Amino acid sequence: MTTASATLDDDRLDETFAALANSTRRAILARLAEGEASVNDLAAPFDMKLPAISKHIKVLEHAGLITRGRRAQFRPCTIDAAPLAEVASWAQQYRHIWDDRFDRMDDYVRSLQNTQHTKDGKTND
Amino acid sequence: MTTASATLDDDRLDETFAALANSTRRAILARLAEGEASVNDLAAPFDMKLPAISKHIKVLEHAGLITRGRRAQFRPCTIDAAPLAEVASWAQQYRHIWDDRFDRMDDYVRSLQNTQHTKDGKTND
């Protein structure tokens, strides 16, 4: 059971990350974060034909990052941030590593500053 | 300048997300979070030939997610979490959307519980 659900999670993360690996699709999500929009609204800021935008929207929809309304013709797109919460939580598990790195950089910068102070004949009290 | 740097950021995020869209590569990162490892160490838990693992390592290295040591033969892999910090920070910008959604779910569950209590002849004081 655990393995099956781990595989499902893995498949979903594969799909989410693949959907996010495109700047047009990320720009579409950024636009939808401001509110629902039609495919025409979404196409407007891009120098792209409707079929190209529709393809990006289908990838986002398939990854569960957007949902489409049921109103005929208009069918507005709405962002669904649940997969983004999963991405954030997945990345956060490595926080201790980047925190450690930033701490080491801080220590390094401070040691450089101390060396400079000593050279200038100043001390830190 | 801003546009050029925005494009660079976009290209880097494209590459990071594409590198993360594979469960073997995410498993390699999870292993490296515990400490540096050789390609042989990394290949061990997977039912994969060395060239296949090397290919995944190259993708991760190209995306800046791992660095390789200089020691001949061994050349250990080390995780670099900086791109993961960018992914976390990119996803966090949508936090208000998933927070709103969880708040609405909370409200909904609470309203269901209240209805149930009223049906059972109980009140919430």
* Distance from chain centroid for Cα B61: 16
CA distance B39 to B35: 13
- CB contact A10 to B (< 8 Å): yes
pLDDT digits over A1-25, tens only?
456 777 778 899 999 999 999 999 9
Tokens 């160490």 correspond to B41
The three state secondary structure string of chain B is CHHHHHHHHHHHHHHHHHHHCCHHHHHHHHHHCCCCECHHHHHCCCCCCHHHHHHHHHHHHHCCCEEECCCCCCCCEEECCHHHHHHHHHHHCCHHHHHHHHHHHHHHHHHHHHHHHHHCCCCCC
- CB contact A40 to B (< 8 Å): no
CA gyration radius, chain B: 23
3-state secondary structure of A17: helix
> Which residues of chain A does B16 touch, with a Cβ-Cβ cutoff of 8 Å?
21
Enclosing H/E stretch for A79:
strand A77-79
- CB contact A33 to B (< 8 Å): yes
CA distance, residue A36 to nearest chain B CA (Å): 13
Tell me the two tokens of residue B16: 């990071």
> Which residues of chain B does A85 touch, with a Cβ-Cβ cutoff of 8 Å?
91, 94-95, 98
Of A10, A84, A97, the CB nearest to B94: A84
Q: What is the pLDDT of residue A35?
A: 94
Interchain contact, B21 vs A29, CB within 8 Å: no
The phi, psi pair for B79, rounded to 5°, reads -75, 140
Nearest to A41 by CA among A33, A51, A31: A31
> Which residues of chain B does A20 touch, with a Cβ-Cβ cutoff of 8 Å?
13, 17
Residue B101: pLDDT band (50, 70, 90) is confident
CA distance, residue A111 to nearest chain B CA (Å): 22
pLDDT digits over A80-123, tens only?
999 999 999 999 999 999 887 777 777 878 887 888 777 776 55
Nearest residue of chain B to residue A78 (CA atoms): B97
> Which residues of chain B does A14 touch, with a Cβ-Cβ cutoff of 8 Å?
21-23
- CB contact A74 to B (< 8 Å): no
CA distances from B24 to A84, A93, B54, B57 (A): 21, 17, 12, 10
- The arithmetic mean of pLDDT across residues B49-75, rounded, is 91
* Distance from chain centroid for Cα A9: 17
- The arithmetic mean of pLDDT across residues A58-82, rounded, is 91
Query: What contacts B117, CB < 8 A, 6 or more positions away?
Result: B123, B124
Quick count: other Cβ atoms within 10 Å of Cβ A19? Answer: 23
Cβ proximity of B46 and B53 under 8 Å: yes
Contacts of the segment B118-122: beta carbons below 8 A, 24+ positions apart:
none
pLDDT digits over B5-19, tens only?
777 788 999 999 999
Quote ipTM for the complex: 0.81
Specify the pTM.
0.81
Of A10, A84, A91, the CB nearest to B23: A10
- CB contact B50 to A (< 8 Å): no
Tell me the two tokens of residue A79: 């962002």
